[in-house]
Structure 1
Amino acid sequence: MATSRTTGTTPDEKERATPARPRSYGRGEPAWIELSVRDTERAAGFYRRLFGWEHNRPAGERMSFGVLEGERVAGFRPMSDDDRGSARWSVYLATQDLEGTVTAAESAGATVLVAPRSASSWGRLAIVSDPTDGEVGLWEAEILKGVQAAPGNGTPVWFELASADHDAAVDFYTDVLDWECRELERDEAGDGDGTYTVLGDAPDGGAGITGLPTGSEDRSHWSVYFGTPDTDASVRRVVEIGGAVVSEPRDTPHGRLAAVADDQGGVFHLMGPTSD
């Protein structure tokens, strides 16, 4: 089993380790991702072998970080003993008023799963289940402003909510987080016959909402897409290092996409250039 290269950071070094001009996020933008997992060292080894991430574990902290070229990409958080599920990726949306956003979310039909709380000196978080049963985090930044690595190979390039009720989900995120949305035409959206709604016009770090396929037994869920120069090669690499293929690579108007799972069951997506 591969081991990760782990570096330590003392509490006093936290702020010095933050980029001088940290990438910041507006209200409602996907700002942070976190993998809840049984074995954080093993997870760090998997993503090092796949994406080249280094592993940084601050002294005295439960959470550690995947780092690429000196910039934070994601968090690794050990699962609690009573959590019997498999590893899972979570998406956190930025807010500058955590309590106000949670109150608005509840008023709009969300269920609070984790009430607002401190995440050490990194920031403050809450987790809610939106009215379509999609679990999403909320992040009020302090030291940790969010993902600092630019969108690209081995870093998040897109975020997506697959919802059991597309229209209700759009209404929720528009009302609670002030999303300015636009619908894609069917030939823009790619495969499938449902409506695809995107957050704003920015191509980098954007987000979309799609409906679950008719007859799907999946619950609503958020997903993260990582960039890759070669989707098929990355899928093969996932399998080589102990992961699994969830959906085979396919070309779309937005690139060649695939869904995979890491060696502890955490599902994520790959996005690269089309095969032609």
Structure 2
Amino acid sequence: MTSGGHDRACSPRWVGLTTPDLRITQDFYSAVLGWTWRASEADERFRLALSGGDPVASVSEAASGLRAAARWTPFFVTEGADGIAARIHERGGTVGVGPLPFGTGRVALASDAHGAVFGFWEGAVFPGWPTGRARRPAWLELRTRDTFAAALFYGQIFGWTAEDGTCTVEYGNEEVVVREAGVKAAVIRGGAVESAPDPQVRPRWRVHFRVADVDAAVAAATAAGGAVVTPAASSPGAEREATLRDPIGGSFRVTTG
């Protein structure tokens, strides 16, 4: 999975989850989302999640002795990881890990100027998987305090205003929608910029997985030991959504849209 020039991909192309218990995590997502799994040759603690035979996400188990919070992380795919890292530093973000070699590529973890964690990948994300066979999540959402400051941060780093027209950005009331090739890929939402930040709430990316039946996914999640954070409801855009939490604590949304 590489981007088409300009050393960037304008929107997140992949999601990964780090968990302290790989078996529990695999069993849960198999039950809720119907995923199957394939081991990675690069790391025995790493699994590819497959849907209909196509890769959709990755799950890795934290090294023994490390306490890792289960959290879905979006990854941008780029042809120039070092350039991305430099731009992150220049714009007030932090590169916490990497870029480090992984498989046939290089991967890094970073946080934006407000603390939301994301990753970026250079080269082939997973050896042996053609770019065209990887499916994205339905879309990803960044919840932050200052919508437009966040849009400016990511836009400058990943070229949201590139002249090739691949990526478009729509600005609305406390919302920025990023479309790639006309398809909604990411949404940035915020608000209450003037108020004091809640120390219990940190800006973060949330992943939305598309399902055929949200209510069935909710039932499967509770039966598999997960929890419902936000009950299923229909949005003004006619999508039905719910927020779920896996048994380890990783949260995600299921949507029909």
Distance 1:51 1:141, change over 3 A: same
What is the 5 A alignment of 1:48-87? 48-59=30-41, 61=43, 62-81=45-64, 83-87=66-70
**Counterpart in 1 of 2:142?**
161
Q: Is the 8 A contact 1:31 1:139 kept in 2?
A: no
Distance 1:203 1:245, change over 3 A: farther
From 193, 207, 217, the counterpart of 1:224:
207
What is the 5 A alignment of 1:222-261? 222-254=205-237, 255-261=239-245
Q: Which amino acid aligns with 2:149?
A: A
Distance 1:143 1:115, change over 3 A: closer
Q: Is the 8 A contact 2:17 2:72 kept in 1?
A: yes
From 105, 112, 116, the counterpart of 1:130:
112
For 2:146 and 2:25, the matched residues in 1 are separated by: 33
Percentage of pairs with the same residue = 29
Distance 1:134 1:27, change over 3 A: same
**Counterpart in 2 of 1:208?**
187
For 1:70 and 1:90, the matched residues in 2 are separated by: 22
**Counterpart in 2 of 1:148?**
133
Deviation at 1:233, TM superposition (A): 1.9
For 1:54 and 1:23, the matched residues in 2 are separated by: 24
The alignment yields a C-alpha RMSD, in angstroms, of 2.4
TM-score by length of 2: 0.83
Unaligned runs of at least 5 residues, structure 2:
162-167
**Counterpart in 1 of 2:29?**
47
Q: What count of residue pairs does the alignment treat as equivalent?
A: 239
What is the 5 A alignment of 1:258-273? 258-272=242-256
Cα distance per residue 1:40-79 (max 9 Å; x no partner): 1221111111122111113462311111121111111111
Matched, 1:183 2:170: yes
Unaligned runs of at least 5 residues, structure 1:
1-21, 187-194
Q: Is the 8 A contact 1:184 1:198 kept in 2?
A: yes
Cα distance per residue 1:193-214 (max 9 Å; x no partner): xx11011364546011001667
Cα distance per residue 1:152-188 (max 9 Å; x no partner): xxxx1011111122121011011111124533545xx
Task: Please state whether the residue corresponding to 1:200 is helix, strand or coil.
Answer: strand
**Counterpart in 2 of 1:97?**
80
**Counterpart in 2 of 1:198?**
177
For 2:249 and 2:119, the matched residues in 1 are separated by: 20
Q: Is the 8 A contact 2:42 2:102 kept in 1?
A: no
Greater relative contact order (Cα < 8 A, sep 6+):
2
Deviation at 1:82, TM superposition (A): 5.1
For 2:89 and 2:58, the matched residues in 1 are separated by: 26
Q: Is the 8 A contact 2:142 2:205 kept in 1?
A: yes
Matched, 1:173 2:173: no
Distance 1:110 1:259, change over 3 A: same
Deviation at 1:266, TM superposition (A): 0.9
**Counterpart in 1 of 2:164?**
none
Q: Is the 8 A contact 2:28 2:224 kept in 1?
A: yes
Cα distance per residue 1:3-49 (max 9 Å; x no partner): xxxxxxxxxxxxxxxxxxx7967623211111100121221111111
Distance 1:24 1:172, change over 3 A: closer
Q: Which amino acid aligns with 2:50?
A: V
